[in-house]
Amino acid sequence: FAKQGFRTEEIDMDSLIFGASEYSKDGLMPISEWIGPSPWFDRMEEMINSIWNHAKVETPFGNIPSDSVEVNGELLQTMSRLYWKNRDERMKSRLFRLADYYLLEKDLMEEDSIRLDDHGCEVIGGLSEAYYIASIEDPKRHAEYKPKMHRILDRVLEVGANVDGLLYNRVNPKTGEIQDDDLTDNWGYNYNAFLLVSQIDEEPRYREAVEKVLSNIHKYLDFQWERGSADGYADSIEGGINLSNRIPTESALQWIDDSMKILLAKQQPDGIIEGWHGDGNGARTTLMWVLLKTQGVTVSPWTEDLQVGATLDDQGALYLVLKNNWKWRGEIQFDRPRHREFFNMPSDYPRLNEFPEWFVVEEKVQYRVEIEGEEPKMLIGESLRHLKREMEPESELRIKISRVD
């Protein structure tokens, strides 16, 4: 920024493409998943289109921007979200060009090495998102993709997982050799793909694989993710949160809470965690965990003395508690089906770099609102989403909200 130009005198297009794909997937995409359409979303779309203007790698299906599984995996994920938002046929065509290359031409399972850690695992999640689009909009292509998509997942389970379902950093998919036996903090990223494909093809074995790892993750509370890096803890917890949103598992949820204590303890008094860009992952995962503990409920304005917590009962009713020290007046804000309202997605499918939806308030649905000490009332979702309240100092507000079908 200081020189208002490129960092190097000679432009390195591969580095620029990597940087733009990384910034889009890890920076702009999660922001857009939470806040919806914004200049950040527009910038993401602009950068992805610009990347494709420099697609120089030749394939039988046309040129693609890179031969890196990391870059192409990031593009597959980002372009899938962009496609759902605008239903841009050019975006879908380019997305399928990448997926065609990996699922109809190149065989990842015939490579000498595949990373299930970051800088490699992105392609598995990305392909699952393209596979989802094909299953809905191009049944013929979905059928063509299916054998290799399943082969990738099956082989990962065969040679890449330990007895508890945790995944190794790197394996040789041809020979089954474990090339790096450290366990990846990106286990949940990979299992997003398993859960999505299980839903698409009604394959119980892939869901069972997710259930297995969630039922065992509590055994790894003392494991040093990424050799104890806060970034490793953040990514591992993120994966657990995303999967627990779809398959709630008591021991996994307890592991998330206990692991967050370890992550939060790494933050220094000045707010810095480790002093590099990976600190952003710690902040992201902390926000995700907070939203889990409030079931997606936020307050405006938020003050440091205000405490918020929520849980759901077996019928899906929300029990919300607010406590404060000082007088407070503001809005209690409830989450919405962001996947549909922001991105036009047909379902809230498992995916990386999302902010999971917990208790969502549908705009046109009636809700029974029971505030302790007051008569119950019925509210339409549109009105409930921004519930105005006042609290006296040192008070507690208890609310139960039930959907009326």
Q: What is the pLDDT of residues 118-156, one digit of tens each?
A: 999 999 999 999 999 999 999 999 999 999 999 999 999
Q: What is the pLDDT of residues 230-287, one digit of tens each?
A: 999 999 999 999 999 999 999 999 999 999 999 999 999 999 999 999 999 999 999 9
**pLDDT above 70 for 21:** yes
For the domain made up of 13-294, the CATH class stated in words is mainly alpha
pLDDT of residue 168: 99
**pLDDT above 80 for 366:** yes
CATH of 298-334+361-404 among 1.20.1070, 3.40.1800, 1.20.120, 2.60.40: 2.60.40
Task: Kindly list the distances between the CA atom of residue 147 and the CA atoms of 64, 190, 192, 283, 391, in Å, as whole numbers in the listed order.
Answer: 23, 18, 19, 39, 58
pLDDT of residue 9: 78
pLDDT of residue 1: 58
> How close are the terminal C-alpha atoms of the chain, in Å?
54
Q: What is the pLDDT of residues 296-341, one digit of tens each?
A: 999 999 999 999 999 999 999 999 999 999 999 999 999 999 999 9
Residue 338 — φ and ψ, nearest 5°?
A: -60, -35
pLDDT of residue 3: 74
Q: Which helix (H) or strand (E) holds 132?
A: helix 122-137
Torsion from C-alpha of 235, 240, 246, 247, nearest 10 degrees: 160
The DSSP bridge partners found for residue 320 are 310, 399
Fold match between domain 13-294 and domain 298-334+361-404: no
Task: Kindly list the distances between the CA atom of residue 246 and the CA atoms of 124, 210, 253, in Å, as whole numbers in the listed order.
Answer: 19, 10, 12
Q: How confident is the model at residue 293 (pLDDT cuts 50, 70, 90)?
A: very high
Across the range 370-389, mean pLDDT stands at 98
Q: Across all residues in the chain, what is the average pLDDT?
A: 97
**pLDDT above 90 for 7:** no
Query: Domain locations in the chain?
Result: 13-294, 298-334+361-404
pLDDT of residue 2: 73
